[in-house]
Structures are given as structure tokens and as C-alpha cells.
Structure 1
Amino acid sequence: MNAFEVFGKELAEDCQWWTSANGQSVWTSLLASPAFQPTQAGMDKSTLRRRLDFLRLQLSFQTSAKQKFPDPERWFWTRQLLEQSSDFWCATESAQDFPAGELVADLCCGAGADAIALARRSKQVLACDCDPHALQLASLNAAMHGLDLKFILNRAESVELSRDSWIHIDPDRRAAGKRATFQHAFAPEWKDVESMIDRCRGISIKVAPGTRYEGDRHPPVVRFLSRQRSVRQQRWLWNLDRWPQDSIVVSAMSRESWHHEIFRRSECETSECLADREVELKNYIGDYDPAFRAGGVSAPFAERLGCNILFENGYLTSGAPLEHPLVRWFRVLELTSLDRKRLAAYSRSANARTWELKSRGCDIDLDSLRKQLRTDPTSDRTLTLLCTRVEGKNRGIIAEEVHGLPVV
């Protein structure tokens, strides 16, 4: 049995054609010229139309897919599955949480981004989904990448797995029609996921960055993954030994490399007092990756760097910039009020070609404010306006980014 026969004869034949030399030739031609009108000897018109309609639909996803995958032309999607999918870099990185050369079951696999990343380092990947369309796309994507996965059309809680299996699962967080922010609204039900935790060797549960665990059986490792300064996903890990137990892990991609900061829960508890007090602004202000805020570890991160934090989850401040791949440092030029006339007056003499506007801890319409700041097209200077709280008051910090820092 080939990988496509689970879908029935007609769809299996379509899948085989899409991944065949003929199908790929048509797909390549459509990518180059969307108006291309192929003919296929021996294929009736309705079959050709159905197969071309699918490929033309895929053309509409290429721009979005480029943001998530380095090879978007080798992936097939629905819009929803593309939006929900792990990107290539996060999928590849999180797959390393599992030991290499093992059997891994990817439950609720969707279009297969995580399953394919897992297959590149595993002995065998079993990809399961209860949606036949999703499983069809996963099988197509695996074939497009030359990978051999086993596919099962079933509900995650109904799949029979041996106790030597490792599990990756991306539960449906919209089962009730709206996005769930706690695990008891997932599908499969949390009691079924807990049963999986008990019977497998180790498990990685993918959840949204803002999801908070409710209950006594807290994940031994909670991991936040960020790319391009956007928190992409959160992982709850049980019995996976890559990271220390009872820890929060921040993993962020910067300059094409992954960087990791590991925080023991006890370390986070002792640092909470640092975030409770307002501190004065020093000569430099630091903007760190948002994954630290998502993980609630801003204060222990500031303590680790040896600097202060303006307020809970606020900007860092220090007498000197401290080199770290996940922090952008700015030299403070002026501390001012957020009075728009005053800011506009400053901008007239600042000679800045561009203004970068950022805010944290205060409610302000940055788009409206940006329109009031003057720019100088003859200048090559970029200034940053950080709108935030300083010693309990909403203030504007005019600053200039520091580049080429030596390691301190």
C-alpha cells in the first residue's frame, strides 16, 4: 500500500499525479506563469480541471508560505492549516527535543510541518489526524520532501501506541469555536492527553504563547520559541531530557542562530521582587526578545545580565550596554513627556531620516504619533522613541541604537 491509498482511489490517484514528474512539471510552470494552460494526453478534462484547480489554489498561498518556509513551492496547504502551522525553523528546532533515531507519533499533525521536521531525525514518524484533508496535505508534503511517513486517519485519543513511543501533539485549540487559553478546552480532552503522558516515554505539547496551564500537574519544562522577535509557540514537555526539569526555557532565533536561556523555577521566584519596584532611568535602555515576557522571566533575565528593569516586563536599563544576542541596546538622548507638540518640536531639530516607535506599559497610538514627527530625507540617522513608564509616569525616551557592541 502506498502512502496515499488511505484516501480512496480518486484522491490517491490525484495525489500520485501531483507528486509525479508530470504533475511537478505543471506545478513548476504554474509557479513561473500562473496563466499557463497545460494539456495532458490521456487525462479527461474534468480530472485535469480538478487537479489544476488544486494547484492554482496553492499559488495563492505562496506569499504567506514564504514567511514560514525556505522552500514554499514544496508545500501544499489550506489557508487555516498554513496559519496554524509551525514554521520551518521552529519545527526543526523543537524536533531536537526528541532523541534521534526513535519512533515518534505526531498527533493532530495538520499539514505535516512538525511531522516532516521530526522525520528528518527519527527512525519512523506516525502522522495522525482526524481531518482527511489535512492528512492528504501532510502526505503530499512528505512526498514532496522525499520522506517516508506512516499516516493514520483517526482521532488522536483513539490511536493505539506502544509504551516505547514518543509523542508530539498539537491539540485543537478552537474546538469550541473560539481560541482556548487553557488546556481544559483543548481537543482531544485534557484527560486523554494526560493518559498519553502516562503511557508514553516522553511528550511535547504545542500550545499558543498565551496559554496558561491550570492544574496541579504542571509541565516539568515550559518552553517558548521566538523568531524575528515574535513569539511563535509554547511547548509543554514531559520526560524529555534535553532541558533541566522544573525549568522555563526561552529559545529565540537571532541572526540565523538559535539562542537559549534556561531559568529554574526557583530562580524566577527569587527574582519576582525585582519587578515590583520602579527604578530610575540610566544611560542605556535595552529592548529584549518578547519571549522573555511571554515566559514571565523578564526580571530574572535582568538579574542575570546585571542590569535593572524599569518595571515588571518593562525595558532594561543600565549604565553601559551589555552584549547579548537577544537584546537591542539604545543610548538615551533625552527623557521627555509624551506631549505631542513637544515631541514634534524635538523632531524638527533632530535631523532623523526615520523614526522607530516602540511602547511598553503605556497606552498610546503610535501610528498617529508617527505622523507628527518630522523626518529629514537627506540624513542617514535613525532615532527611536520608546514610550514607557519611568518611575511611575508615562514618558518618552528618545534614543539611538548602539551597534557593534564589544562583549562586556
Structure 2
Amino acid sequence: MNVSDVDALTSPQGRALLAELAGTAGEDPVALAARLRRAGHDPALAALATTQSRLRAKAAAKFGPRADGLLFTAAGAEQATRAVVAAEHARRFAAAGVHRVADLGCGVGADSLAFLDAGLDVLPVDADPTTVAVAAHNLGREVRCADVTAGVVDELDPGDGAWFDPARRTSGGRRLFDPEATSPPLSFVLATAARVPATGAKLAPGLPHELVPAGAEAQWTSVDGEVVECALWCGPLARPGLVRSARVVRGATAHEIDDVDLPVAPVGAVGEFLHEPDGAVIRSGLVAKVAADLDGRLVDETIAYVSTDSSRTSPFTRAFRVLEVMPFGLKPLRARLRELDVGTLTVKKRGTAVDPDQFRRQLALKGSRTATIVLTRIAGKQSVLVVEPVTP
């Protein structure tokens, strides 16, 4: 996709064709292409619009119905901030009294849309011309095409806000895990925060805790069980006294937990229930606080599983009733699962190198019932727990 393609899609003919293709993403591509040819549509435009229709359908999970009026690049549909997460970004800036935010590395404009929805003025900037053209359409305003490290920050007033979404992939698509290898690097983000205090950044969930600077807050966010980001909040965007927090979004509900008064989690025997903490809780290092809230304990000091004796639940964990606990061993486990007539097996694991798919093949189960097992360490020993999910 290039700038000329964006021009074609935003032309009267392109807009009309996109409207005609609404709801066709699930159709057979060959049959759809044949239908468009018979209708006399330009083949090149038809191909562009068909691809765009599929990208919109994919992006609906992040943007809802709004996706039907937006344009996307393939990378933009995959990497754009979810609307529910972008709204929280905007809330932080608005609550800090910021009126203008520079969206530095705006992509297709997901965060800028949220800033505008919150009544903030936005300066969207991106270095890729095609992405800029797409964002300009989505935002209905000019988007600057520039390297965000080349003087844009110098134009900002101290009372403005700066929001970074550093590129975390190479040109070949490989993920970058070193915060200094992203574009721009974390050091540039922190240098900006020294000049523009209300600075935030969308970073990878693997951000090491020791890289969170003094006075800043790092918040790990998950949406429906998937950890999507670690947001770094500086200056007035950070909440006083917090260093690490987790935000767990399930459906339309969000829950937060933080490191204030973080306890040391006890370690003990497996009880009647096992709790699997959300990935955002694990990444933020707040499993001990969840364990304390549940009046539970860790099953092993190095493993993020919490066990309790009561049926109490938490929005930060998924709960399972423990049916059996046994030492790890392929043959005895196969024999026990066959006794239980298990044919369909869900394998959860933590603290073991076992490959679940290969393990299921080795078990060769052919029964009629379903079951869930957890492969993990208990008090340092490889163990198997037969469990069943607890319905919230």
C-alpha cells in the first residue's frame, strides 16, 4: 500500500466501492473478485478495496463499529492501540490538565482519535508517508510527516503533553525487545520527559522493572486476557507513590491494582482452589498482592500460581477447583486420564519446558470427556494438577 493507493481509496469511486463491500469480509475471495469484475469495477481498485474491507473487519475487534469508516495499513490494523486502552491514555492527559498532546509515532491514529474524543488538541506525527496519509483520513486533519526525533519536541511548551508509540519491529518484521533498539529509543522518551513533564509512552510488556525511572509509573494493561502494553507515565501523568500497576480489562469492565504496600507472598501447600493471575499482574510483579487479597499463598516461590482454601475469586485471576495433585510422570498421568475417560485435554503450564501439543500427542487420549491439567512446580517438584474451571 502506498500514498497513491490511499488517494484511490478516498476518491468518490473508492469510497463508493468500500461502502458496497461492507459486510463482505467473510465471503470467498475468488467469488467476490469475480462478482466485482462482472460489475465492471476497476480490477486494481477492487483489489485495494477488498483488502481494505478485510482490514476493517479485523480492526473491528479494536475499534468497534468505528472501524467501518477508517483506513488501515496491514501493520496499522495489527499494531494500533485498542480503543478501550487509548481512551485510558487520553483520560490520563486530560486529568493532568494537559490541553494539547503531540502524538509522536501516531500510526493510523488510534490514540489521536481518543485524544480528540477527550476534547484535547492533537499534533499527530509519523515518519512513514503512507501511514501519514491513512492517519490524515482517519483524523480528518493534517498529520505531519517527520522523524519525531528531529526537532518536533522542541516546538512543544512545557505544559503540553507528549505521547510516544515507538516502533518495536525491524523493517523485516522482527520484534525488538531492547527498549534502546526501538524508534525512538527509551532514552529519547526520557529526555523528552525532562523538557515536557507530561510525557507518556506505549512500551512493550517485557519492560524490565529497573528501567522505570524515579517518579514515573509503569502500568501493564491486558484486554480479555492478552497483555497489550506497558505504558510509562512521567511527571503529572504518574500517580504519586506508585511505581508499578496493572490494569485488567475484561469486556467493558476495568480493574486496577498497584504496588502500594506490596506484601511478601507466603508459600504453602495446594489447597482446594488454584488461581492463575492475569498476565498484566504477572508482568507488573503484583502476584503477591493478589495472593494477599485472596488470603492465599504461592504453590512455589518461583511460580505465579496462587492457591486458596476458599472459593473466593478475584478479577485479577482465573480460578480453578483442584481435583487431584500428582507427581509429574507421563505414564501414570496417561493411566489416570484414561481411567477418567478423557479425550479432550487442555494443558496449562508454568515453570516447565513441556510443549503442550506434543504432550497431548504423547498421552494419546481417546475418551469421551474433557479435562484440564496444570503442569507446574510445587515446592520445587514438577507436578500435575487436575483441575476444573470455576465459573465467575
TM-score, normalising length: structure 2? 0.84
> Unaligned 5+ residue runs, structure 1?
1-6, 143-147
Output the CA distance in 2 between the equivalents of 1:402 and 1:57. Answer: 41
| Post-superposition offset of 1:360 | 0.7
Query: 2:9–2:15: 8 Å Cα contact kept in structure 1?
Result: no
Deviations 1:164-183 (A, max 9, x none): 21111111233697543333
Aligned to 2:389: 401
Choose from 151, 164, 176 the match for 1:169.
Answer: 164
Residues 76 and 245 of structure 1, relative CA distance in 2, 3 Å threshold:
farther
Higher alpha-carbon deviation: 100-109 or 188-197 = 188-197
Output the CA distance in 1 between the equivalents of 2:347 and 2:209. Answer: 33
SS of aligned partner of 1:217: coil
Aligned pairs (5 A) from 1:241-320: 241=237, 243-264=239-260, 267-268=261-262, 271=264, 274=265, 278-310=267-299, 311-320=301-310
Query: 2:83–2:110: 8 Å Cα contact kept in structure 1?
Result: yes
SS of aligned partner of 1:286: strand
Deviations 1:376-408 (A, max 9, x none): 54x6xx53201111111111001122225xxxx
SS of aligned partner of 1:252: strand
Residues 220 and 98 of structure 1, relative CA distance in 2, 3 Å threshold:
same
| Post-superposition offset of 1:129 | 0.4
Output the CA distance in 1 between the equivalents of 2:343 and 2:250. Answer: 26
Query: 2:36–2:46: 8 Å Cα contact kept in structure 1?
Result: no
Aligned to 2:50: 56
Query: 1:285–1:317: 8 Å Cα contact kept in structure 2?
Result: yes
Aligned pairs (5 A) from 1:3-402: 14=8, 16-17=10-11, 20=12, 22-31=13-22, 32=24, 34-35=32-33, 36-37=35-36, 51-62=45-56, 64-71=58-65, 72-99=67-94, 102-142=99-139, 148-157=140-149, 158-159=151-152, 160-174=155-169, 179-212=175-208, 217-218=213-214, 220-241=216-237, 243-264=239-260, 267-268=261-262, 271=264, 274=265, 278-310=267-299, 311-351=301-341, 354-371=344-361, 372=363, 374=365, 376-377=367-368, 382-402=370-390
Output the CA distance in 2 between the equivalents of 1:112 and 1:76. Answer: 10
Output the CA distance in 1 between the equivalents of 2:273 and 2:212. Answer: 41
Aligned to 1:145: none
Residues 280 and 313 of structure 1, relative CA distance in 2, 3 Å threshold:
same
Output the CA distance in 2 between the equivalents of 1:215 and 1:325. Answer: 28
Higher alpha-carbon deviation: 194-203 or 388-397 = 194-203
> Unaligned 5+ residue runs, structure 2?
none
Output the CA distance in 2 between the equivalents of 1:327 and 1:302. Answer: 10
Query: 1:103–1:122: 8 Å Cα contact kept in structure 2?
Result: no
SS of aligned partner of 2:113: helix
Residues 216 and 81 of structure 1, relative CA distance in 2, 3 Å threshold:
closer
SS of aligned partner of 2:218: strand
Structure 1 runs of 4+ with >6 Å offset: 38-41
RMSD: 3.1
Output the CA distance in 1 between the equivalents of 2:340 and 2:171. Answer: 52
Query: 1:111–1:138: 8 Å Cα contact kept in structure 2?
Result: yes
TM-score, normalising length: structure 1? 0.81
Deviations 1:200-227 (A, max 9, x none): 2411100110122665834611000101
| Post-superposition offset of 1:294 | 0.8
Residues 12 and 86 of structure 1, relative CA distance in 2, 3 Å threshold:
closer
Aligned to 1:3: none
| Post-superposition offset of 1:132 | 0.8
Query: 2:232 is aligned with what amino acid?
Result: W
SS of aligned partner of 2:229: strand
How many pairs align? 374
Output the CA distance in 2 between the equivalents of 1:24 and 1:207. Answer: 35
| Post-superposition offset of 1:121 | 0.5
SS of aligned partner of 1:203: strand
Output the CA distance in 2 between the equivalents of 1:190 and 1:297. Answer: 24
